Structures are given as structure tokens and as C-alpha cells.
Amino acid sequence: MFRTLFWSLFLLGFFAIPLMIVAGDVRREPGIFWILSTAFMVVALCLAVERNIGWRVILTIAGTAFVFLNVALTISFASQGTAFNSAFFAHLDPSTLKIAIKTDLVRMSVLGIYLLATPIVIFLAIKNMRPVPHTVLRMGIALTSAIFSLWANYPINAYADFRESTFRTSARLNNEITRLQQGTKSSGIIQAPNALNLVLIYLESLEETYFNEALFPGLLPQIKSLASEGLWFRDFQQYPGTGWTIGGIVSSQCGVPLLSEMGGNSVLNEVNNPFSEITCLAEYLKQAGYRNAYVGGASLSFAGKGQFLQDNGYDAVLGIDELPSATAHSWGMYDANLFDNARTIFDGLAESAEPFHLAVLTLDTHHPFGTPSPGCASYTAKRSMMLDAVHCADKLITEFIEYIRRSPVGSNTVIAIVSDHLLIQGDMIPTLEQQERTLFFLLLHPDLPSTQHEGPSSHFDIAPTLLDAAGLRGFSFAFGHSLLAHDIGRAQQLNLTERDMQTFKVENLLQAESN
């Protein structure tokens, strides 16, 4: 009896490890159910023990599946501070796992050992337990415990909530999808006589919340100074389908969220150009005679980013693999090296008489820790690798912008700086959450006065705003419009909530293509 009790308690402790790791992130009510679910699953396994080896294997498989499900939710909380969502499932691919191992080898190794040990531990525990007598009653209680465990299980309920949210329908959203499906690739773009060049800088995880002087004194002085010279959009909000890098890129380029049954990253890798039926930023620019180039610090193969950009208007797409001399950290190229390459590409584009668009994606401020480029001064107000990286980004980005402004084409170039998404996870999250978190969007236009745009907006408004700023007309986007002509973003104007947006899926566009 003592041996059975010992192994039962040991199994309970082993099963509870995933929950204990993220206990601080889990809300009270689902956390309690998660605890109860784990306890009842252990009870079900203990009561169902038989001496038959085949039955022990079945119980081991059931227990292992339960643990793996708990681990999946733990990874979601540990990596992004929330339960299952589109961003989590978008990153379920080998490329993400490879980067996770490179950036956090210790914790990934511990996780691997725990998962490999799980079936062994469960089988040994079951093998060393003595079956409880009264078979019919015992099995009835075991089955009841198992059913309650599954009913109360937080991971199962979190996944069910996520799936249910993706199947909701919204009349308001469906009207926009129908309008989008009825449209065709635009050929009526109107170019102003003196169309301006565009430089778009995506800031990796660098949100506007970092500009709060009370929380982060002197963290971003140079970009903040630039913001006083441009058009600063102060209520830039994050919608579903935009909360990770490729989601932010797609939504800001094409005006639609990156939501899919297959997961955001998978659809771009596995489906041939799902956005072929709509016109994105670089395609409109190409129709107007622009040359389009992109340079980023990560591999182009990650999340299908390179293929998306090539399919949707970019003439040159460069990542770390195309720039072999680049210095790198775990996530990719250091930003200092990235901007060196960006200057070279900018100079090449500027030599031609044709207007051009250059997009740049930074990387040093990637969660969870940040990796400042060598040679940057540390942030002194608070010790944090991430804040060092943000402070370094302030210097590197401003130097790049000043380089553009001093160039012969500087007076004919619009510069936009935009967050790709909010910081997903890291030691800065508790501090950032002390205020309402918003994204950063700044437009530096040679002919527009400095001002602050107070109305809410989103990634969907980026492309139309940039086209308008460059002097182009004749464009249309499903969920975005120019913020130079509107006080609030199109998604907000249509009163589309986060729940509405969750119903949109890239599959809607694929269906339009086949019709």
C-alpha cells in the first residue's frame, strides 16, 4: 500500500511540473481546473492499473498524451504569456524549433529530457503499483475520473476556445471579404508627377510602450526626437493575425491578417502564393514604376517570408543567407551589420532615376532576451539585455535615417518606422504591462508638418498610408485605408473587433482564386 501511495504522489508531482512552471501566468480559475484535471488523471491511471502488460502500455500512452498536451500549453505561456492563439500555432514548425534550440539550449534540453522521460516514468509508476480490488467499482471510478479530467483540462479547453473563435462568422467581416473576392489585381494605380521614394523600417518587437519615460527613462531619446519631427500615430493597435513577424509583415503589406487553418507560417511555406488575388504594397508600387527591395537579418526561408515577398512585388529579397559576410547571433544578423547592407542597397536604388521602395527588418530586439550589436553602449537606468538591445536600436536606426536624409534623394524620400508586433515574451513584459501597450508607427515626410495622430489604427492601414504619402492614388485594401485622409483606421471605422477579425482566414482568398 505504501509503495502504491508513493508512486501515486510521485506521478502527481511529475504531471504537475508543466503547470508549476507557468503558474504565475495562468489566471486563477483555469489554473484551479488545470490542477484538478491533473489530479483526477493521476487517480484514473492509478485505479485502472492491472498486471497485464498490454493494459499498462495503453495507460502509459494515455498518460503520455496527457502530459504532452500540458507541455504544449506550458510552452505557449512560457513563450508568449498567453494560452493557445494564432501566433502559437503559426510557429509550430521545424524552423522555429531549430531557432529555439539555438537561443535557449539549456531549457530546450531540459524540456527534451522531460518529454523523453515521461513514458518511462509513467510505465515504471504503473508497474510498481498494486491493483486495487473490487474491479467493477474501481474501473467505474477510474473512468469517471478520466472523464472529469478531460472535461476540466485547461489545455483542452484553451484549444477548444481557440478553434471555436476561428469558426465564428461575422456579417461585417464577410461583407469585406466578399468585396475583396470580387476585386481583381489592380491596374489603375495613379502616380503623382513627383512620386516620392519609400523606406519602410520594421522594428522587431519594439513597441511604443518603451517610450514611456516613467518606465524607461532615456531609453529611446533619438527616435523620440525624430518622432517630434514627423507624423506620429499614437494609438496603433495589434489585431489577431498580426502579432508575430510574418503576420505583421503580411498585414502591413496586404491589408489582411495572416490567419489560417494551417497556421500562419505553414500556409506561406505550403500554399503557392495565397495572396495572388489581391494587390499588396510592393505590387501597387511596381505598377507605378517603382523598384522594390527588402533586406532582413533572418533567413528568408523562416516562416516563408522570402517567398511571400517575391510573390508579392519585391524585385530583390535579401536575408542573412544572401549576405554571407554578415555577423550573426542566434536569431540572425546583427542590426549593425544589417544597416551597413541596407545603406549599400539604398545607395544602389538611389542611383537610378526610377522611384524606389526599400523595406528593412531589424532583429536585435527579438524576444525573449534581446541581442545588442557589438559596440553599442549599455542602457544604464536598468540592467537588462533587452533594454540594451532597444537602446542600441535607437542609435542604429537613427543613424540610418540620418544617412538617408543626407543623401541626394533624401528630400524626395518618405521614411516609415513601424513595430512588427508587441514584445511576445521576456523579462520586460511585467514592466510593459504597467500601461496599455500599443505599437509604434512614425511617418517622416519631407512635405508634411509634424503632428500626432490620436485616433486608433492598425497594421492594415500601413500600406494605404504609405502609398498616399508617396503621392499615389487608385489603390484599395480590405481592412485598411490611408491615415492621412482618415482620423481612425479602417478596421476601427468598420467597428471590426478582434473576434470579427479572427474569422478571417487565408483560405477565403484561396477559395476566391478557384472560383
Fold of 169-514: Alkaline Phosphatase, subunit A (3.40.720)
Going by C-beta distance under 8 Å and a sequence separation of 6 or more, which residues neighbour residue 486? Answer: 455, 493
Q: CATH 3.40.720.10 in the chain: give the residue spans.
A: 169-514
The span from the CA of 416 to the CA of 414, in Å, is 7
CB-based contacts of 434: which residues, under 8 Å, 6+ apart? 215
Cα(379)–Cα(362) distance, integer angstroms = 19
Task: Tell me the C-alpha distance between 137 and 160, whole Å.
Answer: 32
Question: Measured between alpha carbons, how far is 98 from 330 in angstroms, rounded to an integer?
Answer: 10
Q: How much is the pLDDT for 176?
A: 60
CA 469 – CA 83 distance, rounded (Å)? 39
By the 10 Å C-beta count (0-12 exposed, 13-18 middle, 19+ buried), 302 is classed as buried
Query: Rounded to an integer, what distance in angstroms lies between the CA atom of residue 68 and that of residue 78?
Result: 15
DSSP 381: S
Distance CA 87, CA 336 (A): 28
Give me the tens of pLDDT residue by residue for the chain, a chain 515 residues long: 677 788 888 888 899 888 888 776 676 667 788 888 998 898 888 888 887 888 889 999 999 999 999 898 888 877 776 777 666 776 666 666 776 776 677 878 888 899 999 999 999 988 888 776 666 777 788 888 888 888 888 888 887 877 666 555 555 555 665 565 454 444 566 666 688 999 999 999 999 999 999 999 999 999 999 999 999 999 999 998 899 999 999 999 999 888 876 655 556 766 677 788 788 999 999 999 999 999 999 888 877 888 899 999 999 999 998 887 777 888 889 999 999 999 999 999 999 889 999 999 999 999 888 999 999 999 988 899 999 999 999 999 999 999 999 999 999 999 999 999 999 888 899 999 999 999 999 999 999 999 999 999 999 999 999 999 999 988 989 899 999 999 999 999 988 877 777 677 776 666 544 44
Cβ neighbors of 178 (< 8 A, separation 6 or more) are none
- For position 223, what pLDDT does the model report? 97
- Rounded to an integer, what distance in angstroms lies between the CA atom of residue 270 and that of residue 29? 38
Q: What whole-number distance in Å separates Cα of residue 343 and Cα of residue 406? A: 12
